[in-house]
Structure formats: C-alpha cells, structure tokens
Amino acid sequence: MLINENVKFAFSSLWGNKIRSVLTMLGVIIGVFSVITLVSIGEGLRNEFSTQVSDIGSNLIIVASGQIDTESESFNPASLLGNATLSVDDVDRLKEEVPNIEKMVWTINMPSQVSRDDKTLRSTINFATQPEVLEIMTYDLESGRDMTYGDMDAKARVVILGGQVKNSLFDEDEEAIDQKINLVNEEFTVIGVMEEKENAISFGDTNFNNVIILPFTTGEEIVEDSSIFRIILQADSPETVDTVATDVNNVILDQHDQNEDFSVLTQEDLLDLFESFFSILTSAITGIAAISLIVGGIGIMNIMLVSVTERTREIGIRKSIGATSTNILTQFLIEAGVISLIGGGIGVGLAFIASQLIAIYAGIPATITLQALLLGLLISMGVGIVFGLAPAIKAAQKRPIEALRYE
Amino acid sequence: MESTVIKLKNLSKTFYLTKTNKVEALKNVSLEIKQGDFLALMGPSGSGKSTLLNLVGLLDIPDENNGELLIDDHNPKDLNKTELAYLRRDTIGFIFQTFNLLPRMNAWENVLLPMRYAKVPRKSRKDRTKKLLTMMNLQNRIKHKPAELSGGERQRVAIARALANQPKIILADEPTGNLDSKSGQDIMKILKELNRKEGVTMIIVTHDQEIADMTDYTIKLKDGELCS
Ligand SMILES: Nc1ncnc2c1ncn2[C@@H]1O[C@H](COP(=O)(O)OP(=O)(O)O)[C@@H](O)[C@H]1O
Ligand SMILES: [Mg+2]
C-alpha cells in the first residue's frame, strides 16, 4: 500500500522535473536500446542464416583449397580464397575410394570478367563444372535448359547464368536464352538462367545468384590448367555425412603427402563457423551493454544523490510524522526503480522501432523476442535499484532533527 | 487521577560545535507534564525551547548522563530507531512555525500521509482525513497544494496532519509565529478546543504573552534552565 503511494509520488516528482528526469534516464535508455537492438539484429541474422544453410541442399560436403579452421574462435574469410591446391587426381581417388557418395562435382575457377555489347561485369563468379551442380545445390532453372554431357563432350561454349547476372546483363523482359555473351575473349551462348533465391547464402564463398557456370571441359581447355578450386559432394544420407567427410579428408591428405593445404567442410561445420562468429558478437554486445548500463546507473546514482540532498527537509518532515528509516529507504529505491524502468521502457520502445526500420531498410529480419524485452526491463529496474541503493541508504540514515533543520 | 505523559529528570543537551567549543542548550531540566495539560513554554530566543521540544518529540536524543526522559512511560534509551519512529508516529503530533507541509502534496495527501505510515486501513484513513479537514474548516481546500493556501490555512492543514494518528501529545513550536494576530488567535482557539474536547496534551512554544495567556499555565526557560 505504501508501494502504491511511493510509485505515485515517484511519478509526481519525475513529472515535476521533466528535463532532469529525461537526462537521468538517458543512460539507461541508450543502454537498453543498444542492447536490445543489437541482440535482435544478432538473433535475426542467426535465424536467417540457419534456415539458409539448411536450404542449400542436404548432406553437402565441400572440399576447398586452403585452410579453414572451424575449431578456432577466429575465422579469416581470406583463407577461403586460397590458391587452387586440389587436382583432378584427388577427384579420381575420391571416386574410387570413398563409398556413400551420391553425387560429386568439381570446379575450375574462371576469370571473372564478362561482357555483353557495351555492358561489362567484373564481380561475377565464373566457374566450370559438371552438369549435376544445380541438382546438388538445389537450384532450379527459370528458363532454358540444363547443361548436358553432350555439352561436356563437345567442349561447347555455353553458359548458365545466375539470376542476378541475368538481370545485370539483360533488360527485365529481355529473353536471355540463345543470346551471346563474351567471356575470356570468347563468345558463349546462354542456355539457361537460374531462379534467383532471396538472400542466397554462399556455401563456402559462392553466392549462386551471382555465378556463371560453364562445362568443365570447356573451362579446362580455356584456362589450360586443371587445378580444382572446389569439390562439392553429396553424401547418400544424413547418417553418412560425417564418415564421408572423414574419408574424403583422409584420401586427399594421403594424395597430398599429408599436407593439409585444403579444407573439408560440412553444413554442420558451416553452422559452427558462424556460431563462433555470433559468440564473438554476443560477447561484444554484452560488453557494450554492461558499460552503457553502468554509465546509466551512475547517472541515476548521481542525480539521486543530488535529489536526496535537495530533499533533506522532506525527509525530515516525513520522519517527524512517523516515517521509519525503512519507509524512506523504500521510497527512494522505488523512485530510482521507476526512473530506470521508464528509461528501460523507452529504450525497449525505441529498439522496437529500430528493429522494424532495420528489417525494412537493411533487410535483416531483426526480431525482438519477448525474452529480450523482459530482460531489458528487468535489467533496467535492477540497475535502478542497485545504483539507487547508496542514495536511498543516505536518505534513510538522515537524523530527523538535522534533516528538519536543513535549509 | 491524571497520569504523567512526559517526564524529564535532570535532562541535559549539549551541542558540540568543535571538540572544545560546546553549547549547553539544556541544563539539568526536570519537569512533569500530565495527560491533558495545556501549557505554554516561554523564554528568550536561544534559551532552549526548541531543543526541549525536539527531545520530547523524539527527534533528538539527550546527553548520555544520568538524566532521564519518559514519554508515555517509554524511555527512548531503550528503543531502537524503528521503535522510536513508531512511538513518534503513534504518540506525538508536531506543529511547526514554518508549517513543514510537503509542497508537492495537496492538503488531503498531507493529512493522509501519517496514517499511511501507521498502516491505517484505507477506509478509516479516508474517513478520518475528511473528518479532520472538515473540523479545520478546510473542506473546500482539499485539493489545494500548500502554495495555494494562506498561512492560517496551512497551519490548519498542519494541525489536521498532527492529529491524524490520534496522538496523546501535540508539540507546537511557535505555531503562530508566522501568522498575523487574527489567524494566530484562531489557531489557538482550535488547539484549546482540541485540548478541552479530546484531552490532547499540548505544549505551545511562544514568546507572545497574549498567546501564553490562552493556555492553562506557563513554564519558562532561560539559558537552558527552568526558572520558576
Ligand atoms: N544543532 C545545533 N548545533 C549547535 N547549537 C545548537 C543547535 N541547535 C540549537 N543550538 C543552540 O542551542 C541553543 C538553544 O537553541 P534553541 O533550542 O533552538 O533555542 P530557542 O528555540 O529557545 O530559540 C542556542 O544557543 C542554539 O544556538
Ligand atoms: Mg526555537
């Protein structure tokens, strides 16, 4: 019942001093706002990422040139762009020695320049590979036809375009099939266009919306080099993924004289990789949160200490009409709690707006979970109470006569 | 048979400004006040009147010597801080020269507050607040904040607040000091009537002889000592 009265009185004293109240809350507002916004972005990215990882086909294993250490906390994306250290010999041995492989394709990297008439693109990812690639990556064609072994045998100058590439090279309603494009100073005919997947994630580093695929043999002939950049395998069931990955690793290791100049990644590894990213992100958020909330708390403590001094006489009056020290302590604690809770509420509100804006303008599906919301409010109230404690104790300990005599 | 509600025996109060520089505000004061007494406490400025009232009102503590203080048969020395607050809340009502109302609360809330601290049930405390404000002829000033009231009205709110928990003792430190003589007379009439009807013990500090004449008897302090 006194709680009720205290909350009411806390509101009236906050209202009576609006600018100061807002300044007091500012630290907590910013603290809670940044924590919740960052958490919601992280959460959004994480959700998005795991759905996409499971979207890119199943039971995939990728062998990449260069070292990617998924165990260590640090992950260097540059290592994904290492030199091609794999070869057709590796592929041959995998075919012979590793059981339970459903499908397998391997790729040669091509120079990335492509042009059509006066349009030139320099950032597409061009590679030569086998016809099964689209099946493995679960991409469908939007128009045209798939690559065939006929194309392979003929070393045909044909290409399949990623959805984004098509849009860049051709007008919206323009038909791309059977049109010519120029790649590595040779003319190629477009035979297929892939569907565009929204937010296609790159398995390894390849965004499939941005690829140009040509027959392996054609690529081999053009670059006069058969170094393999990627080998993509599909295990025949989820249960065999891990053993296939281990077998693949052992076989290539043997082929490379125990030289670990390649990496074998499963989708699981990929998730682990990004989990480690997120855990770094999470610690950073926690750090920011802690700092800003401490700053906010100190702000509250500072203002409350001033307020206690200013209100010495009020404390004296209350004690003279029968308030106990506990009554006074509770009053000031509730006041600090109310200030920071309102600050927290405003912070949560702003974070909600921010997450909507981020979702709209940055395309990150930032989501505020109920947990994050409650946590924000709880933490802000906790901050108020913890940092309000010292001022409240100071208020409670004032001797009635001295408080009353205070001018 | 009237009983003693306030008893002082050889009570002293010394203020230490520094280790060596001290003010003996009260020196060995002995005094007994009976239930229902209505008296004035007079004396020149600085003679120790407020000091005495603050000791009786449990706002301050007397010197640690062989002096003794009994308020409604309780010795403050035997009580902890919380028990002191309870005794103050339930036994004593204060009226100050400067009113000491809470400026952000209206008349109603000011009068209600002591009853909240005393955990008086909602209905009873509302009823009592209404009764007290009506008794003080403030029924049309319920929503007014102290700044919106005249001096006399403020002091009447303060009296209503002092009466809230039905105290045995009312201590008034120059209650008319900030009022014109007409309002001062009115306040004194109210206090006298309260004493007559409800038997509340009242000590009224004043240096106005006219005010003192309205009480039943007067005690005088000079340099911290009682003179008879
Ligand atoms: N807190 C204090 N510290 C030091 N001296 C004080 C204090 N309170 C009162 N005194 C001194 O005690 C004496 C009595 O004061 P007080 O009881 O207020 O007098 P009165 O109310 O009769 O005018 C005065 O000399 C005053 O200066
Ligand atoms: Mg005085």
Residue A324 lies in a domain: yes
CA of B46 to the centre of ligand 2 (A): 7
pLDDT-derived band at A82 (thresholds 50, 70, 90) equals low
How many domains does one find in chain A? 2
Q: Which residues of chain A from 380 to 399 reach within 8 Å of chain B, CB to CB?
A: 399
Statement to judge: residues A281 and A245 lie in one domain: no
Q: Search chain A and give the residue with CA nearest B166.
A: A321
Statement to judge: residues A151 and A102 lie in one domain: yes
pLDDT, mean of residues A352-378: 83
- Please report residues of B whose CB lies closer than 8 A to that of A404: 59, 100
Neighbours of A80 (CB within 10 A): 18
The size of chain A, in residues, is 407
The span from the first CA to the last CA of chain A, in angstroms, equals 31
Residue A68 lies in a domain: no
Alpha-carbon gap: B50 to the closest alpha carbon of chain A (Å): 11
Is A361 in contact with A402 (CB distance < 8 Å)? no
The SS3 assignment for A293 reads helix
Of A5, A314, A321, the CB nearest to B114: A321
Which of A211, A231, A260 is the last residue in one of the domains?
Answer: A260
Statement to judge: residues A118 and A38 lie in one domain: no
Q: CB neighbours of B140 closer than 8 A, spacing ≥ 6?
A: none
Statement to judge: residues A249 and A297 lie in one domain: no
pLDDT at B120: 94
Residue A57 lies in a domain: no
> Residue A285's Cα: distance from chain center in Å?
13
pLDDT higher than 90, residue A203: no
Distance CA A205, CA A21 (A): 50
> Residue A65's Cα: distance from chain center in Å?
25
Statement to judge: residues A231 and A346 lie in one domain: no
pLDDT higher than 90, residue A273: no
pLDDT in tens for each of the 228 residues of chain B?
479 999 999 999 999 988 889 999 999 999 999 999 999 999 999 999 999 999 999 999 999 887 999 999 999 999 999 999 999 999 999 999 999 999 989 999 999 999 999 999 999 999 999 999 999 999 999 999 999 999 999 999 999 999 999 999 999 999 999 999 999 999 999 999 999 999 999 999 998 999 999 999 999 999 999 987
DSSP A240: G
CA-closest candidate to residue A87, choices A66, A103, A106, A101:
A106
pLDDT at A377: 87
Distance CA B52, CA B62 (A): 9
Statement to judge: residues A292 and A318 lie in one domain: yes
Residue A312 lies in a domain: yes
CA-closest candidate to residue A105, choices A125, A87, A91, A121:
A91
The SS3 assignment for A115 reads strand
Enclosing domain of residue A158: 86-260
Neighbours of A75 (CB within 10 A): 16
Q: What is each CA distance from B217 to B10, B39, B48, B183, in whole angstroms?
A: 21, 5, 19, 22
CA of B26 to the centre of ligand 1 (A): 9
Q: Which residues of chain A from 275 to 334 reach within 8 Å of chain B, CB to CB?
A: 313-314, 316-327
pLDDT at A111: 86
Element (H, E) at B69: strand B68-71
Per-residue pLDDT tens for B9-60? 999 999 998 888 999 999 999 999 999 999 999 999 999 999 999 999 999 9
Residue A22 lies in a domain: yes
Residue A94 lies in a domain: yes
Distance CA B91, CA B85 (A): 10
Structure tokens at A216: 């392996």
Element (H, E) at A161: strand A158-161
Statement to judge: residues A148 and A252 lie in one domain: yes
Statement to judge: residues A153 and A231 lie in one domain: yes
pLDDT at A279: 83
The β-bridge relationship of strands A141-144 and A227-228 is unpaired
Residue A267 lies in a domain: no
Is B160 in contact with B135 (CB distance < 8 Å)? yes
pLDDT at A77: 45
Q: Search chain B and give the residue with CA nearest A11.
A: B104
Q: Do B85 and A321 touch (CB under 8 A)?
A: no
Helix, strand, coil percent values for chain B (each to nearest 5): 40, 25, 35
Distance CA B31, CA B33 (A): 7
Which atom of ligand 1 is least distant from the CA of B54? 17
β-partners of residue A235 are A101
Distance CA A244, CA A41 (A): 35
Statement to judge: residues A317 and A374 lie in one domain: yes
Instruction: Please determine, for the modelled complex, whether the ipTM score is greater than 0.85.
Output: yes
Is A389 in contact with A381 (CB distance < 8 Å)? no
Structure tokens at A156: 């045909």
Residue A61 lies in a domain: no
